[in-house]
Amino acid sequence: MNKPMRRVGIAMITMVVLLLVNITYIQVVKADDYRTDSRNQRVLLDQYSRQRGSIVSQYDGQVLADVVATNDKLKFERRYTDGPMYAPVTGYYSVRYGSGGLERAEDDILNGEDPRLFVRRLSDMVTGRDPRGGNVQLTINPAVQAALYNAMTSKGYTGAAVAMNPKTGEILGMVSTPSYDPNALASHDSTAQQEAWTQFADDPKEPMLNRAISQTYPPGSTFKLLVAAAELENGATADTPVSNAPNVQLPGTRTTLENYGGAACPGTTFKEALAHSCNVPFATFAGQLGADKLNQIAVNFGIGTPLSIPMNVAPSSLGEMDSQAALYQSGIGQRDVRLTPLQDLMLSATIANGGMAMKPQLIKKLLAPDLSDLETFSPQELTGTPALSAANAAVLRDMMIASEANTKGGGKRANIQIASKTGTAEHGTDPKSTPPHAWYTAFAPAADPQIAVAVIVESGGNRGLEATGGTVAAEIGRAAINAQLGGG
Amino acid sequence: MSQPPLSDQAASIYATNPPRDMPTRRGTELAMLGFAAFIVTCAFVLVQANQEQELSWSIVWYGLAYLGLFSVAHAAVRKWAAYADPLILPCVALLNGLGLVMIYRIDLANAEKATQASKDFTADAPKQVLFTALALALFLAVLILVKDHRTLTRYGYTAGLAGMVALALPALLPSSLSEVNGAKVWLKLPGFSIQPAEFSKILLMIFFASFLVAKRDLFMIAGRKVFGVELPRARDLGPLLIAAGVCLLVLVFEKDLGTSLLLFGIVLVMLYVATERAIWVVTGLSFFIVGCLIAYQLFTHVEQRVANWIDPLETYSDPGGGYQIAQGLFGLGTGGVGGTGLGAGRPEIVPESNTDFITAGLGEELGFVGLAAILMIYLLLATRGMRSALAVRDTFGKLLGCGLSFAIVMQVFVIVGGVTKLIPMTGITTPFLSYGGSSLLANYILVALLLRISDAARRPAQKPRPKQPQQQAPLAEAHTVMVQRPPAGGNPTGEPTA
């Protein structure tokens, strides 16, 4: 009987060896797959219970997002200062719904997993201190952000506004309205979190959409800045004569393209055409320049260049422009031309910076938990090639100063010289009876630009069909300029 | 009669086990128990340290309870099974202790969860200590009552019947008395519940061993040749087949696939060892495969288990799907080679983390290294049992010892294999580690029997002779001895008639 018993003994050993081989496979070979599976809450819970780094402004170190200690399993809860105001900047951070915006883009720094924080984490492990995440310092100026946000929300506008330093590309303010409160998503009360998410996600006004960088719009007349730049580069001057006809027939069609209100252009020079935002000359310019020249200059304004600030920016585009008629319509920022508000801002910012587009950047510095520097942002040229020459930029600037002089709307200050361009963009399936988008893009002071700003108020704001860039959007842009330049 | 008369018992021991000089090795056992206690204490301290709790008095209480219980067990073995294998009890103590630490650790996590949800929470660890105490009482009772394992042969059929009744009882009783969490394998008594299947597996092993020993010769000699294979006569095999068949049927109806797999494996192994014919294993496995195919067709829950086994991530969010196994695998994966450290993982995420899935928790916190070590302890325990079974001379002892040892590995294989996706998941307990009274009680009985067999295997036929010859009393001082009068007309040798 001993022989079969010995065999049973061998069978027992074999069974245990089988188990060992299998757990080797699971815990050694497949371990990483299982560990990093999105449904494995363990790693996530570890990150969530680590003290997440703060998001602060470079101005006075104002804190936009930090954590408060809680006594539950997650240990720390995310808190946002002025949540809705800064939501397009900070994004959100939720245990249940993950993260969005900057919280996601800089997650590795904030949760401390960035390789640059590795040595510190190691020493934290040795010293027994709980590992913490690094901090992110933003270029945002709270005064500009607040001015933009308050101006947009006080009238209940839907839209976006962005401001940046044209010389460095530092984004000074980025607002999207209506907004949402990321604090509600960061709540550790899972019911509250869920309710907030459902509320935001189901809202037809899409409060969680960052309109400043994730949404593209027809830029309307603000696009004339690009056409004007191309025309100047093509040899035109401010005094080049232009047609003052009230309308022009689109080549190859029976459709006509009118000036705003169907009026004749008050001037007959290029400069006056921009100052009065006459459509006919710019449609004609675009037709003469052709798609290639427009696209060529567009690249150096940033259109079609993939961009992240570090959040990804939706690509802007001029569209096909495959016929003269298409060129005519594109020349005034209609048809298939689609820009993000940030890209629209870059039109004026590039002109403000003497023709060189700077790479927009939201982050000033990455800091270790102990506030030592990990990386400091330095201004970068976007493509390295100027969109237009400094001389032509100066010409265009003067044309924009004239345009500002013709622009209505409140918020003007005598002591600040602004260069601007408005836009009133038709959109929708029935453009004539859909309230237009109101645009305003500007920089100031014109002589030594410190801030450039772009504003879009969707669908006419509170003016409906009567809305224009000047009456609706300009005031908002000027508020930001005043805030930045100390005009209050 | 030239030889001094031996007592009946001594004579039989002599017959099965000629005298050898065997050290008792009780000192080794004590040292190894101390080692187990040291490891368990360290584990406790680690849990508390990692949970950022202050070292509390609970350590002392659990530690004292642990030490007290196993001191009693050691003393009992010293007294009633002095020659038993010295490694069996320490292995059990270590496993039991690690299980206790893990249950305590999961208690901490669940208590915190309950506090957050402001619910009531009752800890399982104190109950497990109580179960351990009860189990050790039973262990003691078995050691004391079963002085010689061969006496169990007398109760072979009784044990078989009792085992079958115990197995069938939950199936026959109404659900209100037998169902807990959807598993109809319980016997709910006022105040407590037990899983009778845990006990019937031991009763049935006793039955199979005694039956097979009694019929062994018949199996091997009488029979017909079918396809060149000698099959025993149906009437010889009948009771065994009926018993095994009934067991399996009952279990299939109770949907307790794990226990039926376990019993099937044990019966197969005991049959193989008794008959020494591999053909039984082949036949048995063929039947098993056919049975599996039928079960797969008939029962949706079997189909579900197989689907979860093939890819638990695929069926992750299905009701009754792979969520539990997937979470177990996530835990094991997160633990990796070295583990997260005791108290630093999140084993409580896995449902039933302190019963069926306790090895997933141990694998997460102790890593591959720790889990492998635990499997090796089981293997050590089982091989020590098997060694005793090999050494013991009586066939019943051999067969029972072999069955008991194999049962340990088989249980581990079924449950750990299920948790680690080696085989489809079937819910049984992990011996000594899992939370649960019935399992602990039954497995301590199993170990008591194993120790008894091992004691018989190593015990010399007579008490060891005193080192120095005893001083013979002078003949003059010797007292008179009454000589029994032979019965009238009895046999002259004085031997009892059969």
Neighbours of A436 (CB within 10 A): 27
More confident residue, A34 or B287: A34
- Give whole-number Cα distances, A254 to A249, A251, A428, in Å: 7, 8, 21
pLDDT in the model for residue B329 = 94
Beta strands in A95-158 (DSSP E): 98-100, 135-138
Q: In the predicted model, what is the mean pLDDT of residues A116-125?
A: 70
Cα–Cα nearest to B255, from B391, B401, B426, B470: B426
* Per-residue model confidence (pLDDT) at position B144: 93
Closest chain B C-alpha to A8 CA, distance in angstroms: 7
Classify strands A451-457 and A437-444 as parallel, antiparallel or unpaired. antiparallel
Spatial separation of the C-alpha atoms in residues A401 and A169, rounded to whole Å: 22
Shortest alpha-carbon distance between residue A383 and chain B (Å): 44
Six token digits for residue B290: 């056919």
B96: CB partners within 8 A, 6+ apart: B132, B432, B433, B440
Q: What is the average pLDDT score of chain A?
A: 85
Q: What is the ipTM of this complex?
A: 0.87
- Going by their DSSP bridges, the two strands A63-69 and A55-57 should be labelled as antiparallel
Do the chains contact at B273 and A1, CB–CB below 8 Å? Answer: yes
Is A40 in Cβ contact with B330 (below 8 Å)? yes
Which residues of B are less than 8 Å from A35 in CB distance?
330, 333-334, 336
Contact A280, A245 (CB under 8 A): yes
Q: How far apart, in whole angstroms, are the C-alpha atoms of residue B290 and residue B286?
A: 6
B108, B313, B330: best to mutate for the A interface, most A CBs within 10 A: B330
- Proportion of chain B above pLDDT 90, given as a percent: 41
For residue B10, pLDDT over 60 is answered with: no
Across the interface, whether the CB atoms of B336 and A6 are under 8 A apart is answered no
C-beta atoms of A5 and B330 within 8 A = no
- Two structure tokens written together for A366: 């990455």
Taking an 8 Å cut-off on Cβ atoms, the answer to whether A31 and B326 are in contact is no
Q: How far apart are CA A319 and CA B418, in angstroms?
A: 59
Contact across the interface for A22 and B372, Cβ inside 8 Å: no
Neighbours of A452 (CB within 10 A): 33
For residue B339, give the chain A residue with the closest CA. A27
Is it the case that residue B411 has pLDDT exceeding 90?
yes
For residue A411, what pLDDT is reported?
76
Report residue A136 as tokens. Answer: 């992110």
CATH number of A49-138: 3.90.1310.10
Q: Hey, are the CB atoms on A13 and B383 less than 8 Å from each other? A: yes
Check if the beta carbon of residue A49 is closer than 8 Å to that of residue A95.
Answer: no
DSSP class of residue A435 equals P
* Alpha-carbon span B244 to B58, nearest angstrom: 46
Residue B434 and residue B320: Cα distance in Å, rounded? 22
Instruction: Look at B382 and A27 and tell me if their CB atoms are within 8 Å.
Output: no
Q: Are strands A55-57 and A135-138 parallel, antiparallel or unpaired?
A: parallel
Q: Where are the domains of chain B?
A: 22-458
- Evaluate the omega torsion of the peptide bond into residue A131 and state whether it is cis, within 30 degrees of 0: no
- Between CA A39 and CA A76 the distance in angstroms is 22
Residue-level pLDDT at A408: 80
The answer to whether B329 contacts A8, with C-beta atoms less than 8 Å apart, is no
A221 assigned to active site: yes
Residues of B in contact with A16 (CB under 8 A): 375-376, 378-379, 409, 412-413
The Cα–Cα gap between B61 and B67 comes to 10
Q: What integer is the mean pLDDT of A302-316?
A: 88
Who wins on pLDDT, B325 or A261?
A: B325
Residue pLDDT, tens place only, A422-455:
888 877 777 777 888 889 999 988 888 999 999 9
Q: Where are the domains of chain A?
A: 49-138, 214-485
Average pLDDT value for residue range B63-81 = 92
Mutation test of the interface with chain A: which of B116, B219, B266, B273, choosing the one with the most A Cβ atoms within 10 A? B273
Selecting from B316, B346, B379 the residue whose C-beta is nearest the C-beta of A12 gives B379
Q: Does A310 sit behind a cis peptide bond, omega within 30 degrees of 0 on the bond before it? A: yes
Helix%, strand%, coil% for chain B, nearest 5: 65, 5, 30
Closest by Cβ to A5, choosing from B333, B363, B398: B398
CA-based nearest residue to A272, from A150, A464, A405: A405
pLDDT for residue B495: 47
Of B412, B433, B429, the residue nearest B362 (C-alpha): B433
Alpha carbon dihedral B261, B266, B272, B278, in 10-degree steps, equals: 30
Name the residue type at position A244: N
DSSP per-residue codes, A260-320: GGGPPPS-SBHHHHHHTT-HHHHHHHHHHHHHHHHHHHHHHHTTTS-EESSSEEPPPB---
Helix pair A341-352, A390-405: axis angle to 10 deg: 110
Give me B155's structure tokens.
Answer: 């109760």
Strand, helix or coil at A102?
A: helix
CA distances from B277 to A281, B219, B265, B268, B273 (A): 103, 10, 15, 11, 8
* Mean pLDDT in residue range A302-327: 86
- Per-residue pLDDT tens digits for A61-95: 889 988 888 877 677 888 999 889 999 999 998 88
Catalytic residue among A54, A94, A221, A403: A221
pLDDT band of A111, cuts 50, 70, 90 = confident
Kindly report the number of other CB atoms within 10 A of residue A92's CB atom.
Answer: 28
Handedness of CA B20, B26, B31, B34 (dihedral sign): positive
Question: Could you report the per-residue pLDDT of B312-364, keeping only the tens digit for each?
Answer: 888 888 887 888 999 999 999 999 898 888 888 889 889 889 888 999 999 99
Q: Which of B276, B399, B420 sits opposite A19 (nearest CB)?
A: B420
Q: What would the pLDDT profile of B117-136 be if each residue is shown by its tens digit?
A: 778 888 899 999 999 999 99
The answer to whether the CB of B247 falls within 8 A of the CB of B204 is yes
Flag whether pLDDT at B498 surpasses 50: no
Query: What gap in Å lies between CA B368 and CA B336, rounded to an integer?
Result: 6
Question: How far is the C-alpha of B345 from the C-alpha of B342, rounded, in Å?
Answer: 7
Mean pLDDT across B53-68: 80
Strand partners for A358? A381
Question: Nearest C-alpha of chain B: how many angstroms from A38?
Answer: 10
User: Measuring CA to CA, which residue among A308, A309, A327 is closest to residue A318?
Assistant: A327
For residue A147, the one-letter residue type is A
Task: Give the mutation candidate from B422, B425, B430, B453 for the A interface (greatest A CB count, under 10 A).
Answer: B422
Residue B482 main-chain phi, psi, to 5 deg: -80, 130
- H-helix or E-strand spanning residue A249: strand A247-249
Confidence of residue B61 (pLDDT cuts 50, 70, 90): confident
Residue B26 DSSP SS3: helix
**Residue B479 phi, psi (nearest 5):** -85, 160
Q: Which has more pLDDT, B199 or B300?
A: B199
What single string gives the DSSP state of each residue in A443-472? EESSSS--EEEEEEEGGGTTSGGG--IIII
- A27–B113: do the CB atoms touch at under 8 Å? no
Cβ-nearest to A9 among B333, B367, B386: B386
pLDDT tens column, B415-469: 999 999 999 988 788 999 999 889 999 999 999 999 999 999 988 865 555 556 5
pLDDT at B497: 45
Q: State yes or no: pLDDT of B25 exceeds 90.
A: no
| Intrachain domains A49-138 and A214-485 with the same fold | no
Q: Select the residue from A2, A3, A23, A50 to test the B interface by mutation, using most B Cβ atoms within 10 A.
A: A23
* Cα-based angle B397, B399, B403 (whole degrees, multiple of 5): 115
Q: How far apart are CA A436 and CA A439, in angstroms?
A: 9
Cα separation, A28 vs B332, in Å, equals 9
Residue A116 CA to residue A112 CA, distance in Å, equals 9
Ramachandran assignment for B224, one of left (phi > 0), alpha (psi -120 to 50 degrees), beta (any other): beta
Closest CA to B385 of B405, B357, B360, B371: B405
Contacts of B410 in chain A (CB under 8 A): 15
Q: What is the DSSP string of B410-454?
A: HHHHHHHHHHTTSS-----PPTTTSS-HHHHHHHHHHHHHHHHHH
- β-partners of residue A51 are A132
CATH homologous superfamily for the domain A214-485: DD-peptidase/beta-lactamase superfamily (3.40.710.10)
Q: Tell whether the model's pLDDT for residue A174 goes beyond 60.
A: yes
- Of B196, B159, B30, B96, nearest to B444 (Cα)? B96
Whether A38 and A52 have beta carbons less than 8 Å apart is answered as no
What pLDDT digit, counting tens, does each position of A146-156 carry? 999 998 898 88
The rounded distance, in Å, linking the Cα atoms of A308 and A296 is: 21
pLDDT at B465: 56
CA distances from B24 to B11, B21, B72, B454 (A): 21, 9, 18, 11
Number of neighbours of residue A3 by Cβ within 10 angstroms: 9
Dmax over Cα atoms in chain B, in whole Å?
Answer: 91
B252 Cα distance to chain centroid: 22
Q: How far apart are the first and last CA of chain B?
A: 19
CB atoms near residue B341 (< 10 Å): 17
Mean pLDDT of chain B: 84
